[in-house]
Each structure stands twice: as structure tokens, then as C-alpha cells.
Structure 1
Amino acid sequence: MKINSTLYALLFLIGLGILAPITLSAQDAHFSQFYSSPLQMNPALTGVFPGEYRFTANYRTQNYAVLGNQAYKSIAASFEGRRPVGRDDYYSLGIAILRDQVGESQFSQSRAVLSGSYLKHIGSGRSRGSGQFLIGGAQLGIAQWSYDWNDLWFTEQFEVMPGSQTAFINFASSNGEALSMMETDLFMEFNAGVLYYNVIDEDNSFYLGGALHHLTEPNVSFLDDQSEMLHSRWVGQAGGQVSLTREASLLPAIAVMGQGPSFLGIGGMNLRYSNRDWREVAIRAGLWGRVANQGESGMGLDAMVVSAILEVERWQFGLSYDVTVSDLSTANNSRGAFELSLIYVHPSKDRFKVICPKF
């Protein structure tokens, strides 16, 4: 009965997020495998893993069918470690970097942050390996936006040859724009988040968390005499693990985020099968749905995401593909995004293993 209640609660949260009536679209870079990019989602996820340290890497390319070599490319990586405070509490420190680039202008966002969290044990369960934690986390770092307008052309550079109907773009002529900077000043990043999780037993758990990014709302204008504030971004997440048999379990999850006039939500689940050996090998397969702004038509289903993950002892390899189902599918033949993830967790030498949920 306890397991069924956990499953119903998780499915309710996922359905609520997918059907939320918010008519917005996302701005910051995001990953469909959000469960495999923890420090990009929530600073409170720093240190939430069953080992001594963790390395994570993510790569995403989007809309290659439309933009070719100028397609969206997002690369992220993080490294974190954890140390005990007494027997049951922990503090964690790490670093996370991200670079996102798109288009002929090579517009890019780059940032690097130091990440820290404190894991507070707030209760133990009846079964071995169970427990509850409340975590607070924060990130502090620097970021910069940049682009290259030399490969762009503007209306003032569009010319027609005299006595001819032939038109061309004169890149040598003035573009008529007040462009003087190809990059913004370095600005500070400050993010904060919280997370609660409850590990009921070895194969059943749930978690709930939220975060705020860009709390300082820095100026990201490319013009010296103007101000363009970067909106704060909020993130909400929920998920867990529900056992079906000794070898199989479901890992449902949802993530929603909003930034100024923008919104994105993704939810679904992975089916996990493990050999339950001391050298554990597990595979996952999943289906996810992403909702976002559809322009004037409002909120709608943007893409379906299929995922596959291989776990081999300390390593986890993830692969996913976004199948576009919005109006953009006419232009890209439903070929959306391709994504890879890699996670390495080094086992701890401590006698007591940290209790963590599976993501």
C-alpha cells in the first residue's frame, strides 16, 4: 500500500506539471535529460549521490535539420565532492560550467559557478538504508554573453546594382547599427535551491525541490548606454523510484521552469531493469513529453523524448532524442535534438553509505 501511494503521488505531480496552463517559453539552455544534469537544475543537488565524488558531462545539439552547422549546441560539465559532518550530515562543494551557442551570429552564453550544499539528516525509516534529508544549496560564479555580428547583414547593407535587378549584400558598407561590443561585461551569477527527499527502502523513494537562478538579475545588454536585465529563472522538480519487481522499477520525474515571460515543462519516466549482482549492470528506457509556448496559439506539446541509459558499476551513459511534434515539425521533419550524458561516481571509503534516491 505504501508503494502504491508513492506511485500515485508521483504520477499526480507529473500530470499536474504537464497540464499546467502557463503560456510561456524557455530562454536558458536546458537538457531533456534534466535528471542527468543535476548542478544545472538545482544547487541543492550538489552532493546528492552515493559516493565520494561525482563527475557529470552533458552535450546537446538541437534543430540541426533546420540550421545545419549553426544548430544549437549546449555543453555542460560539473565535478563535486562530499564530506561528512558527524555521522549523518554532510557538506558538499563542486564546480559547474556551461556553454550554449547558436546561429550565424555564434551567440553564446558561458558561465562557471562554484556550488555548495549542506545535507541535513532529518529522520530515519524503519527499513535498512532508509532516511530523509533536507538540503540547502547555493552557487556563485561569473558569466558572459557574446556574439559575432561580422557574419550578419542588415537592411542598410542590401544594395541593388544600377540598371539591373540584381541585388547583393555589401558587407563592406555600414550596417547603420550602433554595434560596438561583441560581448557583455562579466557579470555575477548567484543561484540558490532546496531539496527534500525520502528514501523509503532500497527500491522506493521520492524527492521534491526548487531553485532560483540569476537572483542578481544582471545587465546583459550589448550596448554601452542601455540596460537589459536578465530575468531570474525559477525551477521546480519532483520524482522518485517505485519498485515493480525485485529487478524492475519505475523512475518518474518532472521539471518545470519559468523565466520572465518564458516557461518549459518536461515530465515522464524511465523503466529501470537491474541484474541485482554485486557488480550491478542496469538499463533504462523512457518516454517523456515536453510542453512549451507555441507562439500565439499558447501552451502546447513541443516534443516527445525517447531515452536510453546504461549503468555499469560506477558509470552511467545516457542517450536521448527529441521528436518534434509542434508546428516546427514541418520545417525540421520532426528531427529535434540529440543528447548525450555521462556520469561517473567514485565509491566512498566511509563505513556508512550515504542514503540517496535514484534520479
Structure 2
Amino acid sequence: MKKNILHLILFLFLPFTGLMAQDFHYSQFYNEPLNFNPSLAGMYDGDKRFILSLRDQYRSIPVPYSTFSLNYDMKFLPQRPKKGFFSAGVIFNYDRQGSSALTLYNLNLAGSYTYYLTPQHLISGGGLIGFSNRGFSEDNLSWDNYWDPVRETVDPTLGSGEPFERYRFSFLETGAGVNYRFQHSVRNSLMLGASAFHLTQPSQNFSGVTVDPLDIRLSLMAIANVKLTKELDIQGQFLYQKQDVYKETVLGGFIKLYINNKLGKQLSLNLGLMNRFGEGIAPKIAVEYNSWYVGLNYDVVTKKDLSEYSNYRGGPEIHLKYVIKNVKPFGEFKICPIY
């Protein structure tokens, strides 16, 4: 019983343990490309792209974790892009964690250059710079110092006794990434990428005195798409991330059923499953209609310490994407969409 209570307390105040510096995550990481690798700006079939992502976790405990992201990126194509092209994007993120309402506001600018080794082999490099602001609230927190031994009662006016000199601070965000893409045909492709974030390791603390650097986050990503039949594709995705001692491995995939391929009435259905090793699984469904994409998954908690309190309920995640195509592909080259 004492062990269970300890686990619950640790979960309630998770943002103030060593996990405070960990970044937010998405099960459908491939639908948030710029948050995982800035070199993926412009790496899609189209000219302009809008992405809206929402993730909600652990409402059943209840210490909800909520994440919101809004992205826009575009290509800068020359009239005859024989060698390559530049792309740029902007990303806004909002993340709120636990009873402490630990929040993160983040606005980033990303840029990349994609170079054609051949019409089928592409390499790209990109960078990211931005502004972040992190803060928390004591309103829903209780501390040992609240206990008045004389009156034998809880008195919040006594203060927390913690050395908080500030409840919010700002820092510079930086990142860089590289990516290789093999485009055998429109529906057969392979993508391999690597990236790093928090390159300057900005300090993360509320005391205003000590220096607690934000650890660099390293990411490795792979996505492969294979055409099986005229009406069916299969895609696999892999993500590995490391931030100090914390690691995350996500492996999954989906099948894509082409219901209608007629121009102006293109409709397809995606069904798949993601597995975050040691933490949970996420069944996924998505619908694509012309330039629109809507993807939904629900995380099922399998990690023992959390599933006991969450009743295996993690929460939903939804992605909305819209792509604008202004120009036709040049020659034989056409980038396959990253789903």
C-alpha cells in the first residue's frame, strides 16, 4: 500500500522530478515532422503545409497532460529546381503537465535545404531557432511546510518553504537535423533522419541561482512506404530518442487503403498501431481526402506503475493536416507524402 501511495505521489509531482526537463511527445511523431527534425521542412508532396496537433493524457487520474502544436512550412522552388530547393517553417507548441500546471510556450523558426543527388536520392539539412517560456503554479500544490504543528492544521499562508525566486523563465531553443530520402516511385520510398535539440543546453530552474542545463535531445527516425497492390500500401515508422538517461523507442505502422483514386475525389483510409516500448500502445485510424488529412489515435497505458491508476487509459491524440499544391512536379521527380 505504501509503495502504491509513493508511486501516485511521484506521478502527481512528476514535473518537479528529473523528468521536468523532458520534452513532450506524440505517438504519431511522423505527423509532427518539424518538432522532430527541422530538415523535414518542405519534405512533402506540395508547396505549403498546415498541421494542427492535439494530445490529451491521464484525465482519468486526474492530473491531465495536454499538448498543442501548430505548424506551417513551405517550399521556395526555383523555376528549374535541378539541384535543390530551400524550405522554411514556423512551429508553435503549448504543453501543460500535472497538478503543478507546469507549462511550456514555444515558438520556433525552421529552415532547410534539400539537394538532389539524383532524381531518386535526396539529402537535406536543416536548423531551428526559437523562444521558449516555462512556468508553473502553486495553486493546486500542497507542501510539508503548510502543516502548523501548534494548531495541528494545514495553513497555506505559511508558504511552501521552497527556494522559488521565480515562477516563470525564458530560454533560447536551438536544433539541427539531417535527412536522406530514397524515392523509388510515388508510393515506394525510404526516409532516414537524425536530429538534435537544445544545442545550447539552457538552464532550467526556478531558483534563479543554480544552473540546471536542459539536456540535448537526440532523435533517430525512419519511415518506409511500400506499394503492395493498386489499392493498398503499407508503411512502417521508427523513432528513437535519448535525453540524458531517458530514452524513448516507438515502432509502428499502418496499412493504407485507396478507396477512390479519381482526381478531385481522392479518398483513402489508414489503419495502424504504434508501440511505445515499456509505456503503451496506440491504435490509429486516419482519413485522407484530396489535400486534407485527419488522424486519430488513443494511447493505452501498459506501464505497470501508471496503468494501476489510469485503468489503462492514456488519452486521445489527433492531427489535422492540409497541403496546398501550387505547382506541378518537375520531370520524373515527385516527393511521396509523409503520412
TM-score computed with the length of structure 1 as normaliser: 0.84
| 1:73-222 pair list within 5 angstroms | 73-85=66-78, 86-88=80-82, 89-124=84-119, 131-159=120-148, 162=151, 168-184=153-169, 186-222=170-206
Report the more deviating stretch, 113-122 or 24-33. 24-33
Matched to 1:87, the amino acid is P
Matched to 2:154, the amino acid is I
- d(CA) in 2 for partners of 1:357 and 1:42? 18
Q: Does 1:337 align with 2:309?
A: no
Match of 2:271 among 285, 293, 305: 285
Is the Cα–Cα contact under 8 Å of residues 186 and 334 in structure 2 kept in the other structure? no
Report the more deviating stretch, 349-358 or 254-263. 349-358
SS of residue in 2 equivalent to 1:282: strand
Matched to 1:329, the amino acid is S
SS of residue in 1 equivalent to 2:61: helix
For 1:262, the equivalent position in structure 2 comes to: 246
SS of residue in 2 equivalent to 1:136: strand
Matched to 1:80, the amino acid is D
For 1:15, the equivalent position in structure 2 comes to: none
Q: Does 1:313 align with 2:290?
A: yes
CA deviation vs aligned residue, 1:267-291 (integer Å, no higher than 9, x gap): 1111001122222111100012111
Q: Does 1:36 align with 2:36?
A: no
How far is the alpha carbon of 1:146 from its aligned partner? 0.5
Is the Cα–Cα contact under 8 Å of residues 98 and 110 in structure 1 kept in the other structure? yes
Matched to 1:290, the amino acid is R
Matched to 1:116, the amino acid is G
Is the Cα–Cα contact under 8 Å of residues 240 and 357 in structure 1 kept in the other structure? no
- d(CA) in 1 for partners of 2:72 and 2:153? 50
- d(CA) in 1 for partners of 2:203 and 2:319? 32
SS of residue in 2 equivalent to 1:340: strand
CA deviation vs aligned residue, 1:63-104 (integer Å, no higher than 9, x gap): 11112xx40000011111101244231100110011110122
Report the more deviating stretch, 25-34 or 308-317. 25-34
- d(CA) in 2 for partners of 1:204 and 1:351? 17
How far is the alpha carbon of 1:351 from its aligned partner? 5.5
- d(CA) in 2 for partners of 1:113 and 1:29? 15
- d(CA) in 1 for partners of 2:55 and 2:41? 22
SS of residue in 1 equivalent to 2:157: coil
- d(CA) in 1 for partners of 2:81 and 2:301? 48
- d(CA) in 2 for partners of 1:48 and 1:280? 21
How far is the alpha carbon of 1:51 from its aligned partner? 1.1
SS of residue in 2 equivalent to 1:156: helix
For 2:222, the equivalent position in structure 1 comes to: 238
Is the Cα–Cα contact under 8 Å of residues 153 and 169 in structure 1 kept in the other structure? no
Is the Cα–Cα contact under 8 Å of residues 143 and 187 in structure 1 kept in the other structure? yes
Is the Cα–Cα contact under 8 Å of residues 188 and 227 in structure 2 kept in the other structure? yes
Matched to 1:152, the amino acid is L
CA deviation vs aligned residue, 1:157-211 (integer Å, no higher than 9, x gap): 123574xxxx542111132222120101x21111000111111112211110010
How many pairs were matched up?
314
For 1:11, the equivalent position in structure 2 comes to: none
SS of residue in 2 equivalent to 1:229: coil
How far is the alpha carbon of 1:350 from its aligned partner? 4.2
Judging changes above 3 Å, is the alpha-carbon distance between structure 1 residues 240 and 358 closer, same or farther for their aligned structure 2 residues?
Answer: farther
| 1:17-36 pair list within 5 angstroms | 27-36=22-31
For 1:223, the equivalent position in structure 2 comes to: 207
Matched to 1:143, the amino acid is S
SS of residue in 1 equivalent to 2:176: strand
How far is the alpha carbon of 1:306 from its aligned partner? 0.2
Q: In angstroms, what is the RMSD of aligned CA positions?
A: 1.8
Is the Cα–Cα contact under 8 Å of residues 116 and 137 in structure 1 kept in the other structure? yes
- d(CA) in 2 for partners of 1:303 and 1:150? 31
How far is the alpha carbon of 1:46 from its aligned partner? 0.5
- d(CA) in 2 for partners of 1:44 and 1:37? 12
How far is the alpha carbon of 1:256 from its aligned partner? 0.8
Judging changes above 3 Å, is the alpha-carbon distance between structure 1 residues 358 and 157 closer, same or farther for their aligned structure 2 residues?
Answer: same
Q: Does 1:251 align with 2:228?
A: no
SS of residue in 2 equivalent to 1:151: coil
TM-score computed with the length of structure 2 as normaliser: 0.89
For 1:356, the equivalent position in structure 2 comes to: 335
How far is the alpha carbon of 1:347 from its aligned partner? 0.9
Judging changes above 3 Å, is the alpha-carbon distance between structure 1 residues 161 and 338 closer, same or farther for their aligned structure 2 residues?
Answer: farther
SS of residue in 2 equivalent to 1:179: coil
Percent identity, please: 25
CA deviation vs aligned residue, 1:118-171 (integer Å, no higher than 9, x gap): 0101113xxxxxx22100010111111111124322111123574xxxx54211
Is the Cα–Cα contact under 8 Å of residues 50 and 348 in structure 1 kept in the other structure? no
For 1:297, the equivalent position in structure 2 comes to: none
SS of residue in 1 equivalent to 2:284: strand
